[in-house]
Amino acid sequence: MAIATLNGVISGFRPPVPITKAAFTSTGAGHLHSSLYLAGMPGAAAAPSEGINGAAKTSLSGQISFPVAVGGQNVYLAGLEAASSNIGGLLLCDLLWQNSGLVVTTTGAQAITFPGLPARDLNGTTSGAGCLAALEVVTATGNAAPVTNCTLSYTDSVGNTGNTASLASLPNANTAGWTGLFDLAAGDLGVQAIASITLGTSLVSGSISLKVIRPIAFLEMPTDNRTIMKDVVQLGMPRMYDNSVPYFLMLCAGASVGRLTGKVTYTQG
């Protein structure tokens, strides 16, 4: 059943989930960086190992803790707060699918037999509404200059196949955890399946992973060393479906990023 009143929100509050992540060196200002491989609490995740066709994710070592499903109850994001010694922002995401095993020196299309998404898109279905494709650097690549011709062939959230998404730039001198979001074709509102990736230019060395994610909420952090928070009203109480795999994409304001401390609060009812 849905929570429909503020009293319902309050009565359904779960204990806050504390988060602390170690300082790190990012690729630089304006880049997104995954929290998955950073030490702290939760601990660092292992590198993806699902193979090129990937797998739908319903749990992951290193994810932000998520409530156990209870029959007849829904889970909503009810609070988000964090502080760091650096300005920037946090994008809370749900990881729906990821792969491994892409060949970083192949410039032609690498085909993917997509297994399908779990029913956790914007509407709680497998159609991919509100879902994005992302490219993640697992170990730093060796390209000497930014690569600007990476593309995906994908199926959109209403079932159109053969659409093309593009990655604006995969920078050189990147760091493990760098994440780039693919720009979808005009008018598209989500990614349902990925058919292939074309790097276009050799990355020389390193390893990468494709991901399909659903952005849940964004927390602006315009001031360093100050706790910033959003409550259930400011967040809009987005629903997070059973077996969600939450983690942060951190928007960096510079190459040196200090320790992150915060918490996530859910309500369930």
For the chain, the average pLDDT equals 96
Is pLDDT at 85 greater than 90 in this prediction?
Answer: no
Interatomic CA distance for residues 267 and 14, integer angstroms: 6
Q: Domain total for the chain?
A: 1
Q: Do the domain assignments include residue 133? A: yes
Q: Give, in degrees to the nearest 5, the angle at Cα 188 between 185 and 191.
A: 95
User: Alpha carbon of 248 to those of 48, 86, 177, 260: distances in Å?
Assistant: 16, 16, 11, 11
Q: Which two tokens stand for residue 261?
A: 């401390």
Q: Do the domain assignments include residue 111? A: yes
Torsion of CA 185, 191, 197, 200, to 10 degrees: 30
Name the pLDDT band for 264 (thresholds 50, 70, 90): very high
Q: Do the domain assignments include residue 94? A: yes
Unique residue bearing structure tokens 């504390």: 18
Q: Do the domain assignments include residue 1? A: no
Residues 6+ apart with CB under 8 A from 64: 17, 19, 42, 92, 246, 247, 248, 264
Range of the domain at 88: 6-268
Unique residue bearing structure tokens 């967040």: 235
Polymer length of the chain:
269
- pTM tops 0.75, yes or no: yes
* 164-213 pLDDT tens trace: 999 999 999 999 999 999 999 999 999 999 999 999 999 999 999 999 99
Report the pLDDT value the prediction gives residue 86, as an integer from 0 to 100.
86
Q: Do the domain assignments include residue 90? A: yes
> Where would I find the H helices in 83-197?
none
Q: Do the domain assignments include residue 214? A: yes
